[in-house]
Amino acid sequence: MKVQAYLSFNGNCQEALGFYSDLFDAKITNRQTYQDKKIDVPSSYRDKLQHAELKGNNVHFMAYDASPDTPLNNGNQMHMSVEVSNEEEGRGLFNSLSKGGTVHHEYREREWGFFGRCTDQYGIGWMVNHNTN
């Protein structure tokens, strides 16, 4: 069994994946636009991503731009969770993810190690954790 996240965006999926690609040193793969798909979307939306994956450096998730008739709401039903190898790596990653977003729990020491939770500039929830036990 394999479980992975599939993120939905409102037309800025390519931009978000570029951000995550740089942040996690991963590659955007299997990039498909709506261009040649038999899906009823406006012509101005044809260059948006109908599917893409981010792979590499122990990262693998899928993402797409939801079609304009699919309402998306920023919610708290899903978070991406990242386990880092040390406090410094976690602090740097958390600071990058939370820049332009919202910090819900500062990245700081907890009873099990270091943890922080934020929503990034694209509305995606992130938990950054470094277990010291």
pLDDT single digits (tens) 3-18: 789 999 999 999 999 9
- Confidence check: pLDDT of 109 > 90: yes
For 26-38, b/e burial (b = at least 16 CB within 10 A) is bebeeeebbeeee
Helix (H, G, I), strand (E, B) or coil at 66: coil
Q: What is the pTM of this model?
A: 0.82
Looking at mean pLDDT, say which of 30-39, 69-78, 102-111 comes out highest: 102-111
What residues does CATH 3.30.720.110 cover in the chain? 79-131
Question: Backbone phi, then psi, for 15, in 5-degree steps?
Answer: -60, -45
pLDDT in tens, 38-81: 788 888 889 999 999 999 989 999 999 988 888 888 776 678 99
Kindly report the CATH class assigned to 6-65: alpha beta
| 50 sits in which H/E element | strand 49-56
Q: Between these two residues, 66 and 28, which has the higher pLDDT value?
A: 28
CATH 3.10.180.10 domain residues, the chain = 6-65
Q: Measured on CA atoms in the order 25, 27, 33, 38, is the torsion positive or negative?
A: negative
Report percent pLDDT > 90 for the chain.
69
CA distance to 7, 20, 23, 133, per residue, from 57 (Å): 19, 12, 11, 24
Q: How many residues are given for the chain?
A: 133
Please indicate whether residue 128 or residue 57 has the higher confidence score (pLDDT). 128
User: Within 10 A of 40 (CB to CB), how many other CB atoms are there?
Assistant: 9
- The more confident residue out of 133 and 80 is 80
| One CATH from 3.30.470.10, 3.40.50.720, 3.30.720.110, 3.20.20.70 for 79-131 | 3.30.720.110
Q: How many CB atoms within 10 Å of residue 85?
A: 9
